[in-house]
Structure 1
Amino acid sequence: MIRLKHVVLGAVGLPIVILLGAWVGFFNVGASSGHWKVTAWFLQLAMRSAVRTYALAVDAPKTLDSRGLPAAAGHFARGCAICHGEPGEPRSPAVMRMLPQPPDLALTVGDWTDAQLFRIVKHGIRFTGMPAWPARDRDDEVWAMVAFLRELPKLDANGFRDLALGGSQPTAPAALADCTRCHGGDGGGRGDLVPALAGQKEAYLLASLQAYARGDRTSGFMALPVTGVDPADLAALARHFAAQPSVSADSDQVPAEVIGRGQQIAEDGIPERNVPACSGCHIGSDKNPLYPRLDGQHAAYLERQLKLFRSESRGGTRFWRIMATAAQRLTDDDIRAVSAFFSKRSAGPQ
């Protein structure tokens, strides 16, 4: 007959036995033999249940934005494919011996909802090799990755390489090849949410690269390309893209009244809300070289950056707080209008 004292002794003794077993090395932590079936079952149950529960708090968009696909695909090729594989490329035998083995995402993304994929990409999974997203405040990048994962099962080897690598050349220096994955060989930006770098101010480009390298400006997409890059190479990249001919990034049709409203904000500001004119910093050849050129930039990219400034989720050069203060006084319609105006403005020499 089991009595209370037996229950108490078991409750006290079992943890002691487990700790003793761990201390003497009884538990084999080697990956060569795999988990016991009950252990593997329990870990899978715990992981799937946790993802399902925590994903309930994720507000998933009704439609995933496809404009960030090139950047997400480039990041996948650079940082994820080494474990999860990519279309047309077999995974390393070493990866196949990992415990737990990373899944082939082209086969398994259908098992998860968008909200659950967001949760996994953003927060990672403990006790596996799946890390959290490098920039915890960049939900926009995480959603771009979710959108890419939804596309992954549809891609063959050529389709994946076109989307992920674009104009990058395998023979180019590694740092430059990493840039052209997203920004294109001409620096025009592959996708509306990727900035055009061609013809941008060299000092601004270098300061931005240095800010990414220090972590002052956060981006999961930029974290890998700048990690461990020699400062001299960062300077060379800034010179390279600054020397490229400017491109006109946007061809979307925008109503004339929206462009007109944007021009008014850019040239006059919004005095009643104490919003300064954009032209005071961003138009003209006599401006601070650390203030970027906005002419001809992708409207969607400008809109995204202004909203990041507004939420104080974007750092950068030492002047970023000026932009954060101004952006906090702009409505969504203001941001859309001024972004559209600069995207249509000539990207010629300043």
Structure 2
Amino acid sequence: MSQRLRTVLATLGTLAGIGLVAAVAVIFLGVFNTSARWTEPRIVAEAIHQVFESSVRRRAPPPSEVPDLDQPGLVELGARHFDAACRGCHAVPGEERTATIRAMEPPPPHITEAVAGWTPAELHQIVWAGVHFSGMPAWPSAREDGIWPVVAYLSAVQQGLTPETQAGLTATPQVEGPEGAGYCAGCHDGRLPHVPHLSILPEAYLASALQQYRDGRRQSGIMAHAASAVPEDALPALATWLARQPAPQPAGDFALAQEGAALARAGTGDVPACTACHGPGTSAGAREGEDAEEFPPLAGQDRAYLQDQLLAWREGGRGGGALAPLMQAAARDLTDADIAALADYYAGLAPEAAR
């Protein structure tokens, strides 16, 4: 062995020994200060933030995947979720963070600061992925489509959302009902697109869906939070109350309703027709007991919500009960045009037709 090789090996061994000693000191001797009272040097903080910015911009979806954020109801839906899930750390326009939140290390930025300088696609990535080594969690669902309402709201904050508008977006309806009724009615009072009309759904289906959201079998970041924000023993009473609310008014005619009607009645060798399980007429939507937990009636349902769900079934991200694979198979070969037509058809039916 040459002298040069001996020197190289000795150097590597020394470095390895130093690294081992340092690791032992950090892990077992408490040398590194993990206290939130310790603030890293500014150059370190700036380097970490640069890494964060570069990571977000590298992984953000392409601009072509950003939907129309001006769709009716999208900002309010996002505002209501932010109010329930994120306000505690980031506050809202016109509101200050508490002293406790400001004492976090690193402190969560005020929402008006947090959104500055980011594109909608980058905001989507931040909400989806969260921020490691901070208190910012990842989106609590495998489905990403529910993030876009939040992005629509954050974009509105970028554009100068006023405290007065904020208060109007997130006001809790005053309703008579069980615990959590006002919270649920904020989104499910029949006004917002992309949100299902719950009064047309069987009580058993609603109770099952709430439990599936709570335990993660059915995917939705917004509903995962909502179902976990209400005590589990309150869910059956909520399902009963929601199912007994007034049915929505028929939405009227839609351009693709006739095409959707033909699609809804056309089954295949692998899956039955939509109408066989979801109505209208003699359908599983009118069944009771266990079937009601799996086959919701669709007549009169919100058009945008139907589209969202069919897209999620097609992409395999929705989840649900024991018959979820049947819906995944039914939606797998649907085109965007097919989904639009089916949504038009069912949204244009009177809700009573499915009962």
Partner AA of 1:259 in structure 2? A
Deviation at 1:170, TM superposition (A): 9.5
Change (3 A) 1:112 1:310: same
1:81 aligns with 2:95: no
Residue 126 of structure 2 corresponds to: 120
2:221 match? 220
Mapping for residues 260-339 of structure 1, pairs under 5 Å: 260-266=258-264, 268-270=265-267, 276-283=272-279, 284=281, 286-287=286-287, 288-290=291-293, 291-339=295-343
**Does 2:22 align with 1:18?**
yes
Q: 1:16 to 1:42 in 2, by over 3 A?
A: farther
Which amino acid counterpart does residue 281 of structure 1 have in structure 2?
C
Paired with 1:244 and 1:62, the residues of 2 have a C-alpha distance of 32
Give the SS at the match of 1:345: coil
Cα distance between partner residues in 2 of 1:139 and 1:192: 18
Superposition pairs for residues 23-34 of structure 1, below 5 Å?
Answer: 23-34=28-39
CA gap of 1:59–1:129, structure 2 versus 1, over 3 A, is: farther
Deviates most, 72-81 or 223-232: 223-232
CA distance in 1: counterparts of 2:140 and 2:224, whole angstroms: 7
In structure 2, the residue corresponding to 1:227 is in which secondary structure?
helix
What number of residue pairs does the alignment pair up? 337
**3-state DSSP of counterpart to 1:289:** helix
Q: Deviations over 1:61-80 (max 9, x none)?
A: 26436343333211100111
Matches within 5 A, 1:248-259: 248=249, 250=251, 254-255=254-255, 258-259=256-257
Shift of 1:17: 4.8
Unaligned runs of 5+ in 2: 1-6
Provide Cα deviations, 1:58-98, integer angstroms capped at 9, x if missing partner. 85426436343333211100111100111232211100111
Per the TM alignment, residue 132 of structure 1 is displaced from its structure 2 partner at its CA by 0.6
Pick one of 136, 141, 144 that aligns with 1:139.
144
Secondary structure of the residue aligned to 1:318 is coil
> Cα deviation per residue 1:15-49 (whole Å; 9 max; x = unaligned)?
24532441322222111232222321222122122
**Counterparts of 1:113 and 1:209, CA distance in 2:** 33
Please say if residues 249 and 298 of structure 1, whose CA atoms lie closer than 8 Å, have aligned partners that are also in contact. no
Alpha-carbon deviations, 1:179-221, whole Å to 9, x = none? Answer: 122212xxx2x42111111232111111111111121101110
- After superposition, the Cα gap between the structure-2 partners of 1:56 and 1:214, relative to the gap in structure 1 and judged at 3 Å, is closer
Per-residue deviation, 1:322: 2.0
Contact conserved, 1:275 with 1:329, CA < 8 A, in 2? Answer: no
Deviates more, 1:97-106 or 1:125-134: 97-106
- Supply the RMSD in Å over aligned alpha carbons: 2.7
Identity of aligned residues (%): 33
Cα 1:342/1:31, change in 2 over 3 Å: same
Quick check: 1:99 aligned with 2:105? yes
Question: Residue deviations 1:247-296, cap 9 Å, x none?
Answer: 03746x632xx111112223x2155x765332222224643423212111
2:254 alignment partner AA: V
CA distance in 2, matches of 1:332, 1:236: 37
Report the equivalent of 1:202.
Answer: 203
Please, which moves more after superposition, 277-286 or 236-245? Answer: 277-286
- Verify the 8 A CA contact 2:175 2:181 in the aligned structure 1: no
Query: Which position in structure 1 is the counterpart of 2:47?
Result: 42
Aligned partner of residue 254 in structure 1, secondary structure: coil
Taking the aligned partners of 2:70 and 2:251, their CA distance within structure 1 comes to 17
- Which shifted more, 46-55 or 218-227? 46-55
Partner Cα separation in structure 1 for residue 333 and residue 168 of structure 2: 40
Q: Normalising to structure 2: TM-score of the pair?
A: 0.85
CA contact (8 A) 1:71 1:221 kept: no
Aligned-residue offset at 1:306: 1.1
SS for the counterpart of 2:258 is helix
Matched residue type, 1:95? I
Q: Distance in 1 between the 2:242 and 2:177 partners? A: 14
TM-score normalised over the length of structure 1: 0.86
Alpha-carbon distance in structure 1 between the residues aligned to 2:38 and 2:195: 45
Which residue in 2 is equivalent to 1:52?
57
Asked whether the 8 Å contact 1:175–1:225 carries over to 2, the reply is no
Query: What amino acid does structure 2 have at the position aligned with 1:263?
Result: A
Decide which moves more: 148-157 or 168-177: 168-177
**2:153 is matched with which residue: 145, 148, 170?**
148
More deviation, 13-22/309-318: 13-22
